[in-house]
Structure 1
Amino acid sequence: MLKFENLSLNIPDTTKPRVVIIGGGFGGINLAKNLDNKAFQIVMFDKQNYHGFWPLLYQVATAGLEPDAIAEPLRKMFDEDYEDFHFRLVRVTGVNPQAKTVVTLIGELKYDYLVIATGTKANFFGNEQVQKYSFPLKTIPEALNLRSQLLQSFEQASITRDPDIRQALLNFVIVGAGPTGVELAGSLAEMRKHVLPGDYPGLDFSKMNIYLVEGLDRVLPPMSPEASQKTYKYLTDMGINMKLNTLVETYDGEVVTLKGGEQIRSHTVIWAAGVTGALIDGLPNEVIARGGRVMVNRFNQIEGFPDIYAIGDIALMKTDKFPNGHPGVAQPAIQQGRLLAKNLNRTIRGEKMEEFEYFDKGSLAIIGRSRAVADLPGNRHIGGFFAWVIWLVVHIYYLIGFRSKLIVLSNWMYRLFTYERGTRLIIRPFVRPGDKEAQEFMLKNEMG
């Protein structure tokens, strides 16, 4: 058996400056790919061995795509051309800025430059009960848990004799009407209309309710009012129960209680209501801003630590145009990663660094077939089929690896003509804590 005391990071010594990157997301991989690997030793730490295309997580959760369609092994992305690149599958537990070391579960490593690109995690705003019983959607394992929960709910609903339990199994509550919540609601609505009636002919899917709960007064708050209005109409036309200006107070695994007293019986609550920075221990409190983001200057340096950088969602860079920081989407991370690589390359040549200037390429959200919204540069706002085509092209373009592009494109083309979703398999059964009916069902069927 492997023991921690017998493990080590096994990073070779080097005379080159060592850049340690924590996180293999959009920011981390674009930084590593654009660094001069002949001038630097590059070390990347991540707790998973793949880069995931998180904008498509909801399609994994709703059986539209398999996980390997949106993920690429990190080691595969950095082949023999990156001769001094080293990836380690290990959790980072802290940093020591004074000693210039990164602390992991199996040892410490000295750095010359440290880049924190850890992204975000689900924010439950201190509500431990909701956190315990609801389903977040930030990682592939969470998407697979949710997929199992959805399919198991339909299976249980098809055989239960109790109409109240059946209705609770067919009530789905999505908390948060940002892009994830909106896209997930639309995907569930399309399944309800085109897929599930064929799979479960004995179930009346007119009784399947999809609730979208949002604390603000409109859906898609990060996007334009025009996009919000179009999206609201699309969702209501698809039969989504909209609850704006509404907050979730509690959820005990069976009943969602909204502020104001309204209750919804549901076995599936999906939490898409907010994120917070995935912080690492060791940074002083004065550099941590609201939302768990790390304050950085225009070079992505953490205030007071010229050799420590933060990029992507974890970084808070305030500018006149973005006083609350850049939006938490892929583009800022990609652009910051690329520019930081150029700046570090300049640094070792004794050249001056360049300040970051975000180029906003626009925002997109898809609600269903031929239904999407787009905020484009030049204050242009479009919706419908053309926005849907743009969404498809952009997401194919930014997928990592030809194989992933081919798989996703072929899946989407197949679904365009058939509405079919071929991955409705309960491969890994999941039982949420407190779900007594599911636990009994799984035990009796020897699935757990």
Structure 2
Amino acid sequence: MLNFDKLSLNIPETTKPRVVVIGGGFGGLNLVKKLNGKDFQIVMFDKQNYHGFWPLLYQVATAGLEPDAIAEPIRKMFDEDYEDFHFRLVRVLGVDPVAKTVKTMIGDLHYDYLVIATGTKANFFGNEQVKKYSFSLKTIPEALNLRSQLLQSFEQASITVDPENRESLLNFVIVGAGPTGVEMAGSLAEMRKHVLPGDYPGLDFSKMKIYLVEGLDRVLPPMSPEASAKTQKYLEDMGVIIKLKSLVDSYDGETVTLKTGEQIRSQTVVWAAGVTGALIDGLPKELIARGGRVTVNEFNQVEGYSDIFAIGDIAFMKSEKWPNGHPGVAQPAIQQGQHLAKNLRRLIRKEPMVKFDYFDKGSLAIIGRVRAVADLPGNVHLGGFIAWVAWLFVHIYYLIGFRSKLVVLSNWIYRLFTYERGTRLIIRPFVRKDDKDAEEFVMKNEM
């Protein structure tokens, strides 16, 4: 057990301006990379010690990739050659804008400039029952929990003699048809066709059903109607059951009930229906905009503060072109982090800051092997193999570290020709806290 009374942040005193960055995602990482350590002392706080490439979490969940293929230790990115950078694995409790301090579990730290880059978390819209029993997909531990649940479901389906129980084990409901939901549904459909029959020859996988539930009138609402139409056709060709204009009313761990009254028996529900900002205590509530994001101006300054900034998914920057703020994808975070680094250097040189102008490089989503869609600048819409190749190389490019790029690329090439997946090991059995039968089953198998 750690004795918190004997721990401290252990940050050296400095005469340079201190920049405290909360969050090691795309925004925080690119900010630190572009800042000059000779001009600033840079302190980064995060509750995990790695940077993850979250667009590929669904592949970890479906045994396509191992976790270390999409994550890189933060300390490894900034070695001893990177001057005056200090990373601390610690949970931030809040900020005090008046005292200009960040509060953590092991002490407070004064800042000259504060950058909030905490990203988002799953939004269950106040439905605590759904939150309790469904699986979100925002972190590596959540992806591993879901992977264990999927593999355990197949194992249990292969040995149960109860047809109704087998049906609920082989019914998978994905709520939310954005990129995460669509990619998850496509990946499960490919497993059902190419992988699972070989692993479980005694199971009839024609009875495995994949439901994709979306509240709006089309899949992939953030993308173009052309991309949505192609995606829906791809998914339907793969046997995914799509339910549009449908909202989840409740889920008790066994039955999904839609607002229409329709019920689906399922022991696995993946919640990809929305996100909300991962807020930090201490900022005025009136600054919180739609989606739980923090209102910022065109310089990424939090409204009302000259020394507090927010970047990435947590930042709500409204403009004529982006009345609902920037899309919650990696590119705005990357560009804002790089741009803010330049503006911070301008500030210490007493130069005026430059407004942020987001360059939209387009959107991509993959549905399965050689099936993808792309919305590119210039109103260009692609589908099929060309979009799949574009998706592949864009994701390889933005992975951190040469090893990760090599591992992921080799995995994808191998799967392209063999349809094979990862090792599919249940290394951390998942048991819900209130599921006594499952807990007893796991304990017996561990004896």
Q: Give me the TM-score of the superposition, normalised by structure 1.
A: 0.99
1:75-120 CA-to-partner distances (Å, cap 9, x unmatched) read 0000122120000000001000000000000100000000000000
Question: Per-residue deviation at 1:438?
Answer: 2.7
1:393-437 CA-to-partner distances (Å, cap 9, x unmatched) read 000000001010000001001111111112200001111244455
Contact 1:298/1:317, CA 8 A, preserved across alignment: yes
Aligned residue in 2 for 1:114: 114
Aligned residue in 1 for 2:73: 73
Aligned residue in 1 for 2:146: 146
Residue 274 of structure 1 pairs with residue 278 of structure 2: no
Q: Partner letter of residue 22 of structure 1?
A: I
Contact 2:130/2:252, CA 8 A, preserved across alignment: yes
Aligned residue in 2 for 1:432: 432
Residue 418 of structure 1 pairs with residue 380 of structure 2: no
Q: Partner letter of residue 390 of structure 2?
A: I
Aligned residue in 1 for 2:302: 302
Q: Partner letter of residue 128 of structure 2?
A: E
Aligned residue in 2 for 1:172: 172
1:208-250 CA-to-partner distances (Å, cap 9, x unmatched) read 0000000000000000011000000000000001000000000
2:227 partner SS? helix
Contact 1:133/1:433, CA 8 A, preserved across alignment: no
Aligned residue in 2 for 1:49: 49
Question: Per-residue deviation at 1:290?
Answer: 1.6
1:248-292 CA-to-partner distances (Å, cap 9, x unmatched) read 000000111111111111000000000000000000011111211
Provide the rounded CA distance (Å) in 2 between the counterparts of 1:427 and 1:413. Answer: 25
Once the two structures are superposed, the pairs formed by residues 283-432 of structure 1 within 5 Å of their partners are 283-432=283-432
Provide the rounded CA distance (Å) in 2 between the counterparts of 1:87 and 1:156. Answer: 43
Question: How many residues in Structure 1 have an aligned counterpart in Structure 2?
Answer: 447
Aligned residue in 2 for 1:204: 204
Contact 1:254/1:435, CA 8 A, preserved across alignment: no
Once the two structures are superposed, the pairs formed by residues 12-161 of structure 1 within 5 Å of their partners are 12-161=12-161
1:445 partner SS? helix
Q: Partner letter of residue 378 of structure 1?
A: G
Provide the rounded CA distance (Å) in 2 between the counterparts of 1:275 and 1:282. Answer: 21
Provide the rounded CA distance (Å) in 1 between the counterparts of 2:2 and 2:424. Answer: 36
Provide the rounded CA distance (Å) in 2 between the counterparts of 1:291 and 1:68. Answer: 30
1:368-406 CA-to-partner distances (Å, cap 9, x unmatched) read 011000000001111110000000000000000101000
Deviates more, 1:158-167 or 1:432-441: 432-441
2:95 partner SS? strand
Aligned residue in 1 for 2:4: 4
Q: Aligned pair in 2 of structure 1 residues 83, 74: CA closer, same or farther (>3 Å)?
A: same
Q: Partner letter of residue 158 of structure 1?
A: S
1:187-217 CA-to-partner distances (Å, cap 9, x unmatched) read 0000000000000000000000000000000
Provide the rounded CA distance (Å) in 1 between the counterparts of 2:194 and 2:407. Answer: 22
Q: Partner letter of residue 242 of structure 1?
A: I
Provide the rounded CA distance (Å) in 2 between the counterparts of 1:389 and 1:120. Answer: 28
Provide the rounded CA distance (Å) in 1 between the counterparts of 2:111 and 2:436. Answer: 49
Residue 182 of structure 1 pairs with residue 182 of structure 2: yes
Provide the rounded CA distance (Å) in 2 between the counterparts of 1:229 and 1:206. Answer: 25
Provide the rounded CA distance (Å) in 2 between the counterparts of 1:228 and 1:422. Answer: 29
Aligned residue in 2 for 1:261: 261
Contact 1:132/1:433, CA 8 A, preserved across alignment: no
Provide the rounded CA distance (Å) in 2 between the counterparts of 1:289 and 1:345. Answer: 28
Question: Per-residue deviation at 1:441?
Answer: 2.4
Provide the rounded CA distance (Å) in 2 between the counterparts of 1:50 and 1:241. Answer: 36
Contact 2:66/2:422, CA 8 A, preserved across alignment: no
- Work out the percentage of aligned pairs sharing the same amino acid: 83
Provide the rounded CA distance (Å) in 2 between the counterparts of 1:47 and 1:305. Answer: 25
2:291 partner SS? coil
Provide the rounded CA distance (Å) in 1 between the counterparts of 2:351 and 2:150. Answer: 55
Q: Partner letter of residue 34 of structure 1?
A: K
2:290 partner SS? coil
Provide the rounded CA distance (Å) in 2 between the counterparts of 1:162 and 1:212. Answer: 25
Contact 1:133/1:434, CA 8 A, preserved across alignment: no
Question: Per-residue deviation at 1:171?
Answer: 0.3
Contact 1:156/1:441, CA 8 A, preserved across alignment: no
Q: Give me the TM-score of the superposition, normalised by structure 2.
A: 0.99
Provide the rounded CA distance (Å) in 2 between the counterparts of 1:258 and 1:321. Answer: 35
Provide the rounded CA distance (Å) in 1 between the counterparts of 2:436 and 2:213. Answer: 25
Question: Per-residue deviation at 1:47?
Answer: 0.1
Question: Per-residue deviation at 1:2?
Answer: 2.5
Provide the rounded CA distance (Å) in 1 between the counterparts of 2:210 and 2:442. Answer: 25
Structure 1, unpaired ranges of 5+ = none
1:291 partner SS? helix
Provide the rounded CA distance (Å) in 1 between the counterparts of 2:441 and 2:265. Answer: 19
